Amino acid sequence: MFDKVTLEVFKLPKNYNIFNNAKIKHYGRNPHKGRYKNMIIWQYPNYFKITGSLAKYLHDENVTPLKMEEVEQAIINLEKDIDLILDNAVVSYVEFGTSVKVKEYPFEYMNLFGHTNRLNKIVYAHVIINKPFKRVVSNRTGIETVDFNTPTGSFGFTVYDKHKEMSDNKKFMPSSFQDHNVLRLEYKILDREGIQAKFKNFSKTGDLTAHDLFDEKVYKKFKELFLEKYNSIEKMGKLVYVDKPEKITPKVFTEMIAEQFRQSHPEEYQQHLQRFIEAGKIDLKKNFSLKKELSLKKELSLKKTIERIKGENNKLGRDNSFSDTNLLIKELDDLVYNSVMLGD
């Protein structure tokens, strides 16, 4: 299921120069940059870097998830093609993803991806240009990608319409996916520090090498990380109800209405929360206005308060006696689990 990776070798064999290989072509005007198939290559006197999709390298498409043995085959083929063993090549970027065939259009599912405490959310939608006024507007039903990332930039999770992405790049879908709606989901570790943080118990430094990518324990860990991140993102559109014999109290009724609004209008909910933050109306132990001169201590206090608000909302959303998961999310949860945890 590995897709795009970046591999770096910091001590090259003596006199090794990848551009002596007839298969490698210079790419652009940079004399140190080359290309082979879909792989982009940089070589300097004592440093080598290669980046690209292992799936595309092996099969010329990255829709079909790579099995673990196919990851090994891709690395072996690459070593033969560039005449360099990559057992010491450090992984500094990695994407681990899967493609699932969904019943409805992909945007129907992406509309239900809410927010999460640990990741920032960015939505990329179909853009319409109003030429007379040169105005750019976003069409909500045109959602093509939902992207989540950490403020530090070390981790990310992306969900997008795979048919749309292939069409934009003028590529054809594999025959087994052509007549289906396809949602692509990718867990990403974007730098070496992020990999070291997640794999500190796998080696002395926490670094992963190219050969670690087809190690069974490492592969299993990536599956767990993928599912952990997927599950941490709240899914909206739940049906709010109370399935209890006791009477509905005013407190429960108020919670029902509030939760129904949050489930039906997640973006408006976020906007209301942001307004209260900007106005300094969030109830903290110490009252203060949200200004640039806030001390670090107060900023951390505000963040903790926001986390508490979101945490309470998330608890309410997960209460099965209070709300029921959207049918589309139930479908997607099953597809993702079966593909990632039960697949090869």
* pLDDT (0 to 100) of residue 204: 81
What is the span of the domain harbouring residue 73? 2-232
- Percent of the chain's residues with pLDDT above 90: 44
The average pLDDT across 269-291 equals: 57
SS3 270: helix
- Percent of the chain's residues with pLDDT above 70: 71
Report the distance separating Cα 129 and Cα 127, nearest Å: 7
* pLDDT (0 to 100) of residue 308: 63
**Residues 222-234: b if buried by 16+ CB within 10 A, e if exposed:** bbebbbebbeebb
Q: Which two tokens stand for residue 136?
A: 């750019």
| pLDDT of 319 over the 60 cut | no
Q: Specify whether 219 is located in the same domain as 246.
A: no
| pLDDT of 300 over the 80 cut | no
Instruction: Enter the pTM of the model.
Output: 0.77
Q: Specify whether 59 is located in the same domain as 200.
A: yes
How many structural domains comprise the chain?
2
pLDDT classification of 271: cutoffs 50, 70, 90? low
Q: What is the pLDDT of residues 38-50, one digit of tens each?
A: 999 999 888 899 9
The average pLDDT across 132-161 equals: 75
Burial class from Cβ neighbours inside 10 Å (0-12, 13-18, 19+) for residue 235 reads: buried
Q: Specify whether 185 is located in the same domain as 209.
A: yes
Report the distance separating Cα 329 and Cα 306, nearest Å: 26
Q: What is the pLDDT of residues 54-86, one digit of tens each?
A: 999 999 999 998 999 999 999 999 999 999 999
The average pLDDT across 257-264 equals: 70
Better pLDDT: 302 or 189:
189
Report residue 324 CA to chain centroid gap: 25
Q: Specify whether 80 is located in the same domain as 222.
A: yes
Q: Specify whether 228 is located in the same domain as 270.
A: no
Q: Indicate the range of 70-84, 262-276, 301-315 predicted with least confidence.
A: 301-315
In a domain, 336, yes or no: no
Instruction: Specify the residue for token string 């087809």.
Output: 214
Burial class from Cβ neighbours inside 10 Å (0-12, 13-18, 19+) for residue 100 reads: buried
Q: Specify whether 175 is located in the same domain as 311.
A: no
In a domain, 334, yes or no: no
Q: Specify whether 194 is located in the same domain as 304.
A: no
In a domain, 343, yes or no: no
Q: Specify whether 172 is located in the same domain as 50.
A: yes
Q: Specify whether 103 is located in the same domain as 175.
A: yes
* pLDDT (0 to 100) of residue 295: 47
